[in-house]
Amino acid sequence: MLDPARATSESSPVSFTAALAPVSALLISVAILLAGNGLQSTLVPIRANMAEFKPVDLGMLGTAYYIGFTLGCILGPALVRRAGHIRAFLAMTSVASVVPLLHVMDISAPTWWVLRAFTGFCFAVLFIVIESWLNAKSSNATRGMVFSVYTIINLTVITAGQLMVGLADPSSFLLFGLASILVSLAALPIAFTISATPAAASFARPRLLKLFRISPVGVVGCFAVGLANGAFWTLGPVYALNAGMDPIRVGFYMGAVVLGGAVAQWPLGLISDRVDRRRVIIAAAAVAAVAALSTLVIPLDDRKVLVVAGVLFGIGAMPLYPIVVAHANDVAAPSDYVEMSSGLLLIFGVGAAVGPLIASLIGAYAGFPALYVFTAIAHLLLIAYIASQMRWRAEPDAAGRVGFNDAMIAAQTVTNFDPLSEKAAQSGEVKVPPGLKPETI
């Protein structure tokens, strides 16, 4: 249990500088790393489309990435425990920096599927290192601040990375080389940090049927969001390219969707703290579905309106996952929070692996605008399912609700973060999760 004196001191305000000092080197690495990943996420489908990959081959790029990512979430904890945080980070950045160069050496669909799976695996392990490090080096008084900065870095540098696709011809070596350089440079701040690394935390193995019994909306919601978002991240750049946008405008279009989600995330989250979150999920999914369907009737040469529709899609689609996770935690017992976090991430990963493949199969017959038909269907089915559940399940008791700020941390991490572990530990209601030392919480 936490020491009462320490708990009291940590409840007092902590300065911004003091909160970020222990993780400053890590956050610098994160910024460089995610810029490289953001560039790859847009560059790879654009270059594959220019190489005349078949629609199904394009969809498999996203499927392979999320298969690798899901495997990384499952196997990564053992790698981190075996090698430690710093060596695991350096090893994964080494592999991840080689992969963009291999894309240039063999431009064929099967090879690129394997390479995207490797990229997904590496980044899953990297996120485990990053987020477990942030969790361990943050206190109850600073965790919200630290993860808010982490979220801002995620959104801004990924957008910046996507915009880099306009710096050179996507068919040339230069952009793949730049992606490799960025990922390689991300290792330097970690290699030279003097901060102590945290102890490896334990990871829960989720029981999916149990999670479905606890929160059907949480399980179905994460799967549906994975379907839609996985398809968009894989095929969105291809849609924009086929709509006549040049690489600069493709990057701008993808960045606009991300920023739309960033703007809407906190307002929707705060609203969901005050009303039945299921109503907020329905409203956001409806916005995403309407924006997706409106894209189908917008003339392709009306680029400004297409970008506006993309922003609206981001406003509806991107905040859905943390709100769904928040709802699932509302109805779960405190002892189930860690298992719920890992289970919902796994379900999201399965959906994100299946989504690009289904959307690409539809696109093979109906063209790439069918991407938005698929995402609209996924959101509309989610709305129908939640509406049916609301007839049978009452709104969660307000006393047991988890704040959106804490739930968003649990949603965006791969480290099985328990949003109430500290509060429960301080009150003596539950034990501190195994693997986390009380003095590091």
Question: pLDDT tens digits, residue range 188-197?
Answer: 998 887 777 7
pLDDT reported for residue 432: 35
3-class DSSP assignment, residue 311:
helix
User: What mean pLDDT comes out for the span 117-126?
Assistant: 93
Question: Does 411 score more than 60 pLDDT?
Answer: no
- The CA dihedral of 218, 224, 225, 229, to the nearest 10 degrees, is 160
Choose the weakest-confidence range: 145-149, 177-181, 393-397, 410-414: 410-414
Choose the weakest-confidence range: 84-88, 262-266, 283-287, 312-316: 262-266
- What residues contact residue 15 under an 8 Å CB cut-off, 6+ apart? none
- The answer to whether 373 touches 295, Cβ cutoff 8 Å, is no
Choose the weakest-confidence range: 81-95, 209-223, 412-426: 412-426
Which CATH topology does 202-429 take? Growth Hormone; Chain: A; (1.20.1250)
pLDDT reported for residue 425: 41
- What residues contact residue 25 under an 8 Å CB cut-off, 6+ apart? 189, 190, 192, 193, 195
pLDDT reported for residue 6: 42
User: What mean pLDDT comes out for the span 335-362?
Assistant: 84
d(CA 137, CA 122): 23
- What residues contact residue 1 under an 8 Å CB cut-off, 6+ apart? 425, 426, 428, 431, 432, 438
- What residues contact residue 265 under an 8 Å CB cut-off, 6+ apart? 318, 319, 322, 408
Choose the weakest-confidence range: 47-51, 166-170, 331-335: 331-335
d(CA 109, CA 113): 6
Write down the H helix ranges in 318-369. Answer: 320-331, 337-366
> Do you know the residue count of the chain?
441
| Assigned token pair, 61 | 């790029």
pLDDT reported for residue 389: 87
Give the angle subtended at the CA of 173 by the CAs of 170 and 179, to the nearest 5°.
Answer: 80
d(CA 361, CA 194): 50
Task: State the distance between the two ends of the chain, measured CA to CA, in whole angstroms.
Answer: 10
401 vs 110, higher pLDDT: 110
CATH, domain 18-192, list 2.60.40.790, 1.10.150.670, 3.30.870.10, 1.20.1250.20? 1.20.1250.20
d(CA 136, CA 202): 12
pLDDT reported for residue 301: 78
- What residues contact residue 218 under an 8 Å CB cut-off, 6+ apart? 211, 324, 325, 327, 328, 331, 340, 344
Q: Which residue has the tokens 């695996």?
A: 121
Share of the chain residues as helix, strand and coil, in percent rounded to the nearest 5:
80, 0, 20
DSSP state of 107: -
pLDDT band at 48 (very low <50, low <70, confident <90, very high): very high
Choose the weakest-confidence range: 213-217, 361-365, 381-385, 437-441: 437-441
pLDDT band at 201 (very low <50, low <70, confident <90, very high): low
Q: What is the mean pLDDT of the chain?
A: 81
Q: Quick one: how far is CA 49 from the chain centroid? A: 24
pLDDT reported for residue 437: 32
Question: Does 8 score more than 50 pLDDT?
Answer: no
| Assigned token pair, 401 | 């609700």
- What residues contact residue 9 under an 8 Å CB cut-off, 6+ apart? none
User: What mean pLDDT comes out for the span 230-235?
Assistant: 91
DSSP state of 241: H
214: left (phi over 0), alpha (psi -120 to 50) or beta: alpha
Q: Which residue has the tokens 């392709």?
A: 300
Which residue from 362, 285, 360, 354 is spatially nearest to 317, judged by alpha carbons? 285
User: What mean pLDDT comes out for the span 320-339?
Assistant: 78
User: What mean pLDDT comes out for the span 182-193?
Assistant: 90
Choose the weakest-confidence range: 48-62, 75-89, 331-345: 331-345
- What residues contact residue 101 under an 8 Å CB cut-off, 6+ apart? 176, 177, 180
Question: Does 211 score more than 90 pLDDT?
Answer: no
User: Does 18-192 match 202-429 in CATH topology?
Assistant: yes
Give the angle subtended at the CA of 35 by the CAs of 31 and 37, to the nearest 5°.
Answer: 120
pLDDT band at 392 (very low <50, low <70, confident <90, very high): confident
pLDDT tens-digit profile of 274-300?
888 889 999 999 999 999 999 888 887
Q: Give the rounded percent of residues in the chain with a pLDDT score beyond 90.
A: 34
Question: Does 325 score more than 60 pLDDT?
Answer: yes
- The answer to whether 44 touches 236, Cβ cutoff 8 Å, is no
Q: Which residue has the tokens 């090698």?
A: 83
Q: Quick one: how far is CA 395 from the chain centroid? A: 27
Q: Crossing angle, helix 277-297 and helix 320-331, to 10 degrees?
A: 160
pLDDT reported for residue 429: 41
Q: Where are the domains of the chain?
A: 18-192, 202-429
| Assigned token pair, 369 | 């605008």
